[in-house]
């Protein structure tokens, strides 16, 4: 196993790494991000696909917005969400490989 870790990167980027990991450290946020990596969705679509109820969904989306993880786009009355940082795709893909 090649477990080389660039300690300078970890030290210099530790704040960003922590934000990224905290964003994934909640079941609802993990599910929301998984769907948003596939496609841009509005709140109603996210609620339908994830089965996360509106109050919880709004709270988790607010955290993702605050942490700079998702982009928002307004179209009429709808707000659409997408993943700002596509490194999340690599992270989630690697995590899912642990369970295959």
CATH number, position 57: 1.10.10.10
Whole-model pTM? 0.85
Residue 12 lies in a domain: no
- Model confidence over 2-16: pLDDT tens digits? 568 888 888 888 888
> Sign of the CA dihedral 87, 92, 27, 39?
positive
Residue 69 lies in a domain: yes
Helix (H, G, I), strand (E, B) or coil at 84: coil
- Tell me the residue range of the domain where 60 lies: 28-97
Q: In the chain, how many domains are there?
A: 1
Which of 79, 61, 78 shows the shortest CA–CA distance to 70? 61
Residue 39 lies in a domain: yes
Residue 48 lies in a domain: yes
Query: Which pLDDT value is given to residue 34?
Result: 94
DSSP state, residue 60: H
Residue 75, judged by CB atoms within 10 A of its CB (0-12, 13-18, 19+), counts as exposed
Residue 5 lies in a domain: no
Residue 15 lies in a domain: no
Query: Which pLDDT value is given to residue 32?
Result: 97
Residue 57 lies in a domain: yes
What are the respective helix, strand and coil percentages of the chain, to the nearest 5?
A: 60, 15, 25
CA–CA separation, 100 and 95 (whole Å):
10
Query: Which pLDDT value is given to residue 99?
Result: 86
The answer to whether 39 touches 68, Cβ cutoff 8 Å, is: no
Mean pLDDT of 45-51: 98
Residue 56 lies in a domain: yes
């Amino acid at each position: 196993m090649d477990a080389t870790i660039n300690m300078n990167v970890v030290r210099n980027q530790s704040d960003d790494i922590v934000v990224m990991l905290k964003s994934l450290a909640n079941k609802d946020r993990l599910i929301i991000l998984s769907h948003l990596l596939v496609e841009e969705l509005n709140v109603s679509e996210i609620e339908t696909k994830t089965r996360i109820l509106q109050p919880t969904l709004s709270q988790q989306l607010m955290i993702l917005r605050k942490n700079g993880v998702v982009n928002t786009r307004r179209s009429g009355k709808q707000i659409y969400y997408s993943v700002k940082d596509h490194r999340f795709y690599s992270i989630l893909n690697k995590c899912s490989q642990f369970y295959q």
